[in-house]
Structures are given as C-alpha cells and as structure tokens.
C-alpha cells in the first residue's frame, strides 16, 4: 500500500492528516529549539508552552470554569478504573455503576478488587449490551455514579446523560470525548484514553472538579493520587511529552480547522446518519445496537454470514478501507468514525457497502 487508506480503526485510530503533516514538518527542529519535541526537556520553556496550550484548549472547548482541573495521566483509561474508587470512594460509602458492557464491567471489577462497595444500579447485559438502560434510580447518598458514555465494542452511546439528582457523575469518555457538545456541570470527573479522538496512546486526559480533589486520601502512593497531578501541572514525573504535544495539535485542529465542538457535533451526526441509513436501507446489513442507543462514533453491524463478513473486511481493505473488523469479543463489523474520519471516508465506505450488497445479496 503506497498511499494512505480510509482508516476506521477503533483505537489507536485516525488522526487529522494536517496534524500528522505538522508533526512531520517539525519533528527534527521543534519551534527553533534545534531538537525534536521528543528530545527536549519536559521542564523546558518549549514543553511548558505545549502543556499549557493543551490545557487551555481542553478548557476552552468544553467551557470549563476554574473549578475543573485538567490532568494528563499515564496507565490508560484502564488505570482510571482503579484510581477512581481509590481516590474518590471513601471507606464505608458506596458508588453506583451502570454496566453497559466490557469497559464498564472492567471498571466495576477494579472497584470491587479494592473491596469497595459498588452497586450496579442498571445493566443492559440481558440483551447482550445492545442498549443504554433508561429510568434508573440512583442512590442519593452514593459517592458518585459511574457510566461509560460510549461503548466502543457494542456501538452504543448515551444520547442524554442521566439525572443523578446532584450525585457527581464520573464518566469514561474514551471513545467520544470532544465528539459532541457537552455540558460539564454534572460531572465530578471525566476521563478518556487519548488514542481515539485525541492523539496517540500513552496518555489519558482526566478532568476533575475541585470538590472531588478534596476527597483524595493523603495516604495513597504518590503516583496514584489525583492531587499529585493537579499540584504539579501533570509534571511530578516525566509526562508522555509526545502524546501531549499531539493532543495539543489535534485540539488546535478541532478549534481552528473544524471550528469548535458545535461544528464537530454537526459533522459527526451527519457522518453517523449517512452510515446508519445505508445499513437500514436493505436486508443485507443489520445494525447490532438498538436504534435509540446507537453510537455516533462506533457503528457496529452484521452481514448475513460470518463468511461474508470475512470477505467484506478483506475486500474493503483491498479497496482502501481499513479497520472494519468488529472487536474480537463480539465479531461482526465495526466502522469507527471518530472526529478525524472525514465524511468523504464514510461516503467511500457506503459506496463499497452498496456494491458489496449488490454482489452478494
């Protein structure tokens, strides 16, 4: 393959081409430093500017006030599954979790491993996690409510966040952060592994509200405390500099090229609608998520047989459309259409799907 393909990978995933080109252009000499961004000190004025700009952009895009802290943490979103109860769920109290599939199931497990009291107040396991539960009653005394806003594997997404009557919401937004308009006010903490909508793997964005920080116990190991990251501008130790630098460029692209979150939201809805319409048009493709729970980011579907699915994924790749195989735990097909995937890629996919259905339907 000599040219770039349309990339539908679930994560690590497509990055905006202009961002990759900028990285390429300044890789050997970053901002006149005479060094690569991967070679400069994280204590240098150059990197200080990068992390400050990345933080400012996160705050501006999500309209966060000074009550929120922006942290860059390592260990992936999976590390947050453990850090959240460790930091924010005191002894003798409980937290409510909603189980919408693999990632929330793992978050529940990591809290229970620490012998924390977790109440699973709703689950969609009865229908193989194909929907987002509604009408949930939450415990008003819970320390927090944990949800996964977008379920990358099953292709479901919360269309509206639940009303928790003032109990702080904690949300895994790994696969839809900055993908749509967001009101941050009900959230005590938002986290997202970078490798889908934000940048390369290796860093997790954590947005934490001041009152949550005040809960953090003193006696935790230094690198497992949110306060360590908040008090040292995420530089208590060496941060993942290259990943944070890329995030800054991606957010710059989102603000300056796309035009902000409202426009990104509109574009993402347009892409998803286009693709779901193609799935719903005939009998050949079948969406796996219930319609009211469909994800704007990960579009999951089946073909009439596993054999056809195999051929579909293979022939798509031969036609320059990559990453369409469903997650190994569920099979089928999945097109991840994150922020950096243009409408043009979705159109190319729909053309291919129609052609494939015509031949094999």
Ligand X SMILES: Cc1ncc(COP(=O)(O)O)c(C=O)c1O
Q: Which residues are catalytic?
A: 103, 172, 196
Query: Shortest distance, CB of residue 129 to ligand X, whole angstroms?
Result: 12
Query: Shortest distance, CB of residue 264 to ligand X, whole angstroms?
Result: 19
Name which of residues 163 to 202 contact ligand X (CB under 6 A): 172, 174-175, 193
**Type and span of the H or E element at 299:** strand 298-302
Kindly state the tokens that stand for 238: 């060496």
Query: Shortest distance, CB of residue 104 to ligand X, whole angstroms?
Result: 8
The residue among 227 and 298 lying less far from ligand X, judged by its C-beta, is 298
Number of residues that bind ligand X (CB under 6 A): 11
Contacts of 281 (CB under 8 A, 6+ apart): none
Buried b (16+ CB within 10 A) or exposed e, 164-188: beebbbbbbbbbbbbbbebebebbb
**Half-sphere exposure of 319 toward its Cβ, with a 13 Å CA cutoff?**
18
Among the listed residues 143, 152, 156, 227, the single contact to ligand X using CB under 6 A:
152
The 3-state DSSP class for residue 71 equals strand
The residue among 242 and 284 lying less far from ligand X, judged by its C-beta, is 242
Q: How far apart are CA 132 and CA 91, in angstroms?
A: 30
The residue among 16 and 200 lying less far from ligand X, judged by its C-beta, is 200
Name which of residues 5 to 24 contact ligand X (CB under 6 A): 11
Kindly state the tokens that stand for 150: 């977008």
Q: Which stretch binds ligand X (CB under 6 A): 35-43, 76-84, 118-126, 275-283?
A: 76-84
The residue among 167 and 177 lying less far from ligand X, judged by its C-beta, is 177
Could you tell me which residues are beta bridge partners of residue 360? none
Query: Shortest distance, CB of residue 77 to ligand X, whole angstroms?
Result: 4
Name which of residues 85 to 144 contact ligand X (CB under 6 A): 103
Nearest in space to 170 (alpha carbons), one of 186, 150, 193: 186
Establish if 240 lies at the interface with ligand X (CB under 6 A).
Answer: no
Residue showing the smallest CB distance to ligand X in the complex: 76
Kindly state the tokens that stand for 356: 């494939």
Among the listed residues 143, 148, 157, 293, the single contact to ligand X using CB under 6 A:
148
Establish if 156 lies at the interface with ligand X (CB under 6 A).
Answer: no
Among the listed residues 22, 23, 74, 76, the single contact to ligand X using CB under 6 A:
76
Nearest in space to 298 (alpha carbons), one of 9, 99, 30: 9
Q: Which stretch binds ligand X (CB under 6 A): 44-52, 70-78, 85-93, 130-138?
A: 70-78
Establish if 77 lies at the interface with ligand X (CB under 6 A).
Answer: yes
Judge whether 223 and 230 are in contact, CB under 8 Å.
no
Query: Shortest distance, CB of residue 44 to ligand X, whole angstroms?
Result: 27
**Half-sphere exposure of 5 toward its Cβ, with a 13 Å CA cutoff?**
15
Judge whether 344 and 274 are in contact, CB under 8 Å.
no
Query: Shortest distance, CB of residue 244 to ligand X, whole angstroms?
Result: 15
Nearest in space to 350 (alpha carbons), one of 276, 267, 296: 276
Q: Which stretch binds ligand X (CB under 6 A): 74-82, 114-122, 260-268, 275-283?
A: 74-82
The residue among 76 and 287 lying less far from ligand X, judged by its C-beta, is 76
Q: How far apart are CA 71 and CA 231, in angstroms?
A: 10
The residue among 76 and 184 lying less far from ligand X, judged by its C-beta, is 76
CA geometry: angle at 174 spanning 12 and 332, to 5°? 60
Kindly state the tokens that stand for 16: 């905006």
Kindly state the tokens that stand for 256: 């300056």
The residue among 18 and 78 lying less far from ligand X, judged by its C-beta, is 78
Query: Shortest distance, CB of residue 177 to ligand X, whole angstroms?
Result: 10
Q: How far apart are CA 31 and CA 26, in angstroms?
A: 7
Contact residues for ligand X, defined by CB under 6 A: 11, 76-78, 103, 148, 152, 172, 174-175, 193
């Amino acid at each position: 393959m000599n040219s770039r393909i349309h990339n539908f990978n679930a994560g690590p995933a497509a990055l905006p081409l202009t961002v990759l080109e900028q990285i390429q252009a300044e890789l050997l000499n970053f901002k006149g430093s005479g060094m690569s961004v991967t070679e400069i000190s994280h204590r240098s004025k150059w990197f200080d500017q990068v992390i400050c700009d990345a933080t400012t952009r996160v705050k501006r895009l999500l309209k966060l006030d000074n009550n929120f802290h922006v942290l860059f943490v390592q260990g992936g979103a999976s590390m947050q599954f453990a850090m959240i109860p460790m930091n924010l769920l005191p002894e003798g109290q409980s937290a409510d979790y909603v189980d919408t599939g693999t990632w929330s199931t793992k978050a529940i497990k990591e809290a229970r491993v620490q012998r924390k009291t977790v109440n699973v107040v709703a689950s969609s396991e009865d229908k193989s996690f194909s929907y987002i539960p509604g009408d949930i009653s939450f415990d008003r005394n819970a320390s927090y409510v944990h949800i996964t806003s977008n379920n990358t594997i099953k292709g479901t997404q919360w269309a509206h966040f639940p009303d928790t009557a003032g109990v702080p919401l904690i949300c895994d937004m790994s696969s839809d952060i900055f993908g749509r308009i967001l009101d941050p006010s009900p959230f005590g903490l938002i986290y997202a592994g970078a490798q889908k909508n934000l940048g390369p793997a290796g860093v997790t964005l954590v947005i934490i509200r001041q009152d949550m920080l005040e809960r953090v116990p003193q006696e935790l190991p230094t690198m497992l405390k949110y306060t360590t990251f908040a008090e040292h501008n995420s530089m208590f130790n060496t941060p993942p500099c290259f990943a944070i630098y890329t995030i800054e460029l991606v957010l710059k692209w989102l603000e300056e090229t796309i035009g902000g979150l409202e426009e990104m939201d509109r574009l993402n809805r347009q892409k998803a609608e286009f693709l779901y319409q193609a799935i719903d048009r005939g009998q050949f493709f079948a969406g796996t998520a219930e319609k009211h729970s469909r994800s704007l980011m990960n579009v999951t579907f089946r073909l009439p047989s596993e054999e056809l699915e195999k051929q579909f994924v293979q022939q798509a790749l031969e036609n320059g459309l990559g990453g369409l195989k469903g997650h190994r735990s569920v099979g089928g097909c999945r097109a991840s259409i994150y922020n950096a995937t243009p409408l043009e890629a979705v159109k190319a996919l729909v053309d291919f799907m129609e052609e494939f259905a015509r031949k094999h339907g």
